[in-house]
Amino acid sequence: MTMKVILDSEKISNILRNLTVEIISKIPSGQEIAVIGIRSRGEVLAQRLAAMLSKKLKKDIPCGTLDITLYRDDLNMPQNSFQPNVRTTEIGFDIDHKIIILVDDVLHTGRSARAAMDALIDLGRPQAIRLAVLVERDGREFPIQADYVGYKADAEPEEMVHVNLVESDGKDEVVIK
């Protein structure tokens, strides 16, 4: 199987810096925001993004983690024999009336983003939810678009876009397999 590196550590850092600037430019002044990452790599990217936003805005931007396992639409399918690994959702702040920057590593079918929105709505009533992704690729199955896109990948339908991050994988890179 061939593997092509499409983003290295430096490119990922640049993308996160650019996303930070773009988010700040599109959020009305004085509006409360919070960053929430979808487990597991979205969680890491959300932490990095929240730190960069906090530094640029000179105020603490809350950051949380969302586990969408129980909101997945493939959980009860007959051909599914795996036991889901349910982990915790860790959002230690009120999401009501805030603009939530929902962070995921790859936007492909839109199913994870849909599940995450369902999970968020069960937790409160944010003013708005904005989706930020490191990589976007074709193949949407739901009418979901990212508000903030770091990189648009050209991947064939049978190819996988895989994100590796230092915190979980020992290095920052995005590969197409």
For the segment 101-138, what is each residue's pLDDT rounded down to a tens digit? 999 999 999 999 999 999 999 999 999 999 999 999 99
pLDDT of residue 106: 97
Q: Which residues pair with 90 in a beta bridge?
A: 65
Residues 161/176, Cβ–Cβ less than 8 Å:
yes
**CATH 3.40.50.2020 is the classification of domain 4-24+33-74+86-176:** yes
Which phi and psi (to 5°) does residue 166 adopt? Answer: -50, -45
DSSP the chain: ---EEEE-HHHHHHHHHHHHHHHHHHSPTT--EEEEEETTHHHHHHHHHHHHHHHHHTSPPPEEEE--GGG-TTTT-TT--PPP-----B--S--TTSEEEEEEEEESSSHHHHHHHHHHHHH---SEEEEEEEEEES--SSS---SEEEEEE---TT--EEEE-HHHHSS-EEEE-
pLDDT of residue 114: 95
**Residues of 29-63 as b/e, b for ≥16 C-beta within 10 angstroms?**
eeebbbbbbbbebbbbbbbbbbbbbbeeeeeebbb
Whole-model pTM? 0.91
Report the percentage of the chain scoring pLDDT > 70: 91
Report the percentage of the chain scoring pLDDT > 90: 83
Q: What is the mean pLDDT of the chain?
A: 92
- What is the residue extent of each domain of the chain? 4-24+33-74+86-176
Range in 73-87, 88-102, 158-172 the model is least confident about: 73-87
Residue 69 has pLDDT above 90, yes or no: no
